[in-house]
Amino acid sequence: MTEMQKYQLWCDKNLEDKDVVADLEQVKGNQEEIFDRFYRELDFGTAGLRGVLGAGTNRMNIYTIRKATQGFANYLINNNKSKGIAIAYDSRIKSDIFAKEAACVLAANGIKVYLYKELMPTPSLSFAVRDLHCDAGIVVTASHNPAKYNGYKVYGSDGCQLDVADADEVFHEIVKLDIFSDIKLIGFESAMSTGLIEYIGEDLIDRYLEAVKAQEIIPGVCEKANLKVVYTPLNGAGNRCVREILKRIGVSDVTVVKSQEMPDGNFPTCPFPNPEIREALNEGLKVCEEVGPDLLLATDPDCDRVGIAVKDGDDYRLFSGNEVGALLLEFICKVRTENGTMPKDPIAVKSFVSTSIVDKIAAEYGVQVINVLTGFKYIGQQILALEKKCEQNRYILGFEESYGYLAGSYVRDKDAVNGSMLICEMAAYYKLQGLTLVDALEKLYDKYGKYLHKIGNYACEGAAGMERMKQIMGDLRANVPASIGGYQVVWFSDYTTSVKKNLLTGEEVAITLPKSDVLAYDLTDNLGVIIRPSGTEPKIKVYYTSVGKTWEEAEGMQEKMAADMNRMMGF
C-alpha cells in the first residue's frame, strides 16, 4: 500500500480523535507532508516509541498507541507475563490520554492495570512495577524533547526498560496487526468498574519517597547548612516529588519558579525543556538573581534528569552531567569512607561515553568502575546482576553524562528525585566547609586534571535524514581515518562487530559490551571521539574528550577534532 493509499484509508475512517482528523485535512494535497506521516511506522526499540504528535503511522496518536499496546499485550500473553502492568505519564500533550488508551487496550486483553492518577516521575514507574510485583510497565513521555513530541517507554518485571531481544519480540507482534481492525478495546469506566484498571494509591507514592530518602549520605546536613534552593520542574512531572523529598531532608528554603511550576506540555517558556540547555534555565536564573540561592535545580519533563547552576562571580555556572557525576562520586566516596559506611568492594557504573575522570576518582577510593552502553537500562542491569547475588549494597552510584543519576537499588532507572536530593546534600556538605560547588569542582580538576567533554549534535530530520544518518555511519566505518584534528588514531572500535583494532600494530581485541551502532576512536594525547546515532532523536551525537594542563589547551584540542569531524561527516 502506498503512502497516499494509507492516507486515504485514514481519511475514509470514522476517526474519533478530532485532532487527527484535523491534521489529515490540513495536509490534504501536500504529498511531502503525507509521505512523512505514512512512509513508515514508528520504530519500536528498547526505549519503545517516540515521535511527533499528529496523524499517520509515523506519528504519535491514539491509534499508534493502541497498536503498540496490543502488540505488547500479545507478547505478554504469549510469554505468560500478564498478571499486571503499571502505567505512568508526564505533562506532555496527550500523555494522560495515551496512558488511558494503553490501559483500555490492556484491560480488554484481560490484563490488570495499575494507573497513576496524576502525572509522576518516570522512576516512580520503575518503582511501582517492582513494588506491585507487575510483569511490566509503561510510561508515556518524550523526556526532554520539544513539545511536538511524545513517547511510550516499556519496562519489564525487573523495573528496567526492555532489553533488545524482548523489544524485538514486541515489535514482531506489533507489525502483524492492522492498526484499526486488530485492536481490542474496552471503555475506561467499564474497566474501572470491573477492577481491570485500578488507580495507584498514595501509600505507594509514600513508599517511593521513603525509598529515595533512604539513600541519604549525611542525614540532617541540609538543615544544618540552611541550604537555599531555587527549583524548576520545567512544567513537568517533578514538582510534587522533588519538593516533597527536599522537605523531608530538611531543605526548607525552596523557591519554585512560578512560570514553570504547573504542568504544561506546550513548555511556553522553554522550547527545548532540557536542563542541559541554558535557555531552559533562563526563568530559573532570573529568580536566582532575585533570591540568591546556593543552588538552582531543574528537572526535565518526566523528572529522570536533573541539571544545576551555581553562583560563579557575577553569573551562574551551569554544570555538565559529567561534572555533576564526577562530583557526586567523589562526594559519596569521601563521605562514606569517612563515616565508615563504604561497602566492601564498591562499584560505580557509568555509560561508556561519560567522563573518564571517574577512573582516577575510583582508583583513589578503591572503587571498581563498570562501563556500559548508553541507556540507563544497562546500569539497571548491573544493579540487577548484583541483586541476584545479594550484593546490591556494593553499588554506590550510577550515572550518565546526559544528566541521569541514581544511588540505591530501589529502582532500575535514573531518578531526578534521588539526584536532586544527593546534589543538595553535596552542596550542603561543602557549604559547611565554606565552599560552593564551583569551588569543589575546581578542586576536583586541580587534583585529577582538566577533563573537557563536549558533544556535537548533527540533526538529520525527516525520511531523508534517516537515510543520511545511515550513510554517514556507513562511510565512517568504511573509511577509518588515520588521524582526527591532526591527532593520530591509535585504536578504532566498531561496536557493531565487537572489534577494537590497533591501527598501528594491527592487534585486535574483543569488545565485551552488547553490539550497538557506535564507533569510537582513541587518539594520542589521551584524546577520544565516540560517534553514535541518538536513540531518541533524529540526530547523530559525537562525544569529544580532551585532557589538558590548562583549559585553553584542552579547548584547542577539542576544536581541532570537531572541525575535522564536521568535514568528514559533511556538516
SS3 for 401?
coil
Of the given ranges (45-54, 174-183, 410-419), which has the lowest mean pLDDT?
A: 45-54
Mean pLDDT of the chain, nearest integer: 95
| pLDDT digit string, tens, across residues 276-331 | 999 999 999 999 999 999 999 999 999 999 999 999 988 899 999 999 999 999 99
- pLDDT for the residue 150: 97
Distance CA 302, CA 138 (A): 13
Cell readout for 449 is: 586534571
- pLDDT for the residue 536: 66
What b/e readout covers 321-352, taking b as 16+ CB neighbours within 10 angstroms?
bbbbbbbbbbbbbbbbeeeeebeeebbbbbbb
Superfamily, domain 450-569: Alpha-D-phosphohexomutase, C-terminal domain (3.30.310.50)
In the chain, % of residues over pLDDT 70:
99
Nearest by Cα to 186 from 290, 111, 86, 247: 111
SS3 for 198?
strand
Q: What share of the chain is helix, strand, coil (3-state, %, to 5)?
A: 40, 20, 35
| pLDDT digit string, tens, across residues 228-237 | 999 999 999 9
State the pTM of this model. 0.93
Question: Does this chain's domain 3-208 share its CATH topology with 223-318?
Answer: yes
Distance CA 414, CA 410 (A): 11
Residue 462 banded pLDDT, cuts 50, 70, 90? confident
- pLDDT for the residue 45: 80
Helices 202-213 and 416-431: crossing angle, nearest 10°?
A: 40
The answer to whether the CB of 391 falls within 8 A of the CB of 297 is no
Q: Which CATH number fits domain 223-318: 3.65.10.10, 3.30.420.40, 3.40.1390.10, 3.40.120.10?
A: 3.40.120.10
- Which CA distances in Å does 306 have to 95, 227, 523? 21, 18, 32
Cell readout for 310 is: 551555581
**Residue 243 pLDDT exceeds 90:** yes
Q: Choose the catalytic residue: 95, 124, 126, 143.
A: 143
143: annotated active-site residue = yes
Pick 108 or 458 by higher pLDDT. 108
CATH 3.40.120.10 fits 319-414, yes or no: yes
Work out the average pLDDT over 196-213. Answer: 98
Distance CA 419, CA 439 (A): 20
- pLDDT for the residue 526: 86
Q: Which CATH number fits domain 3-208: 3.30.479.10, 3.40.120.10, 1.10.1740.10, 3.90.650.10?
A: 3.40.120.10
Pick 344 or 461 by higher pLDDT. 344
Sign of CA dihedral 238, 244, 245, 250: positive
Query: What ranges make up the beta strands (E) of 373-478?
Result: 395-400, 404-406, 450-459
Domain locations in the chain? 3-208, 223-318, 319-414, 450-569
Ramachandran assignment for 48, one of left (phi > 0), alpha (psi -120 to 50 degrees), beta (any other)? left
Nearest by Cα to 459 from 538, 392, 381: 538
Nearest by Cα to 415 from 401, 405, 403: 405
| pLDDT digit string, tens, across residues 86-97 | 999 999 999 999
Residue with cell 585529577: 448
Length, in residues, of the chain: 571
Sign of CA dihedral 463, 467, 470, 472: negative
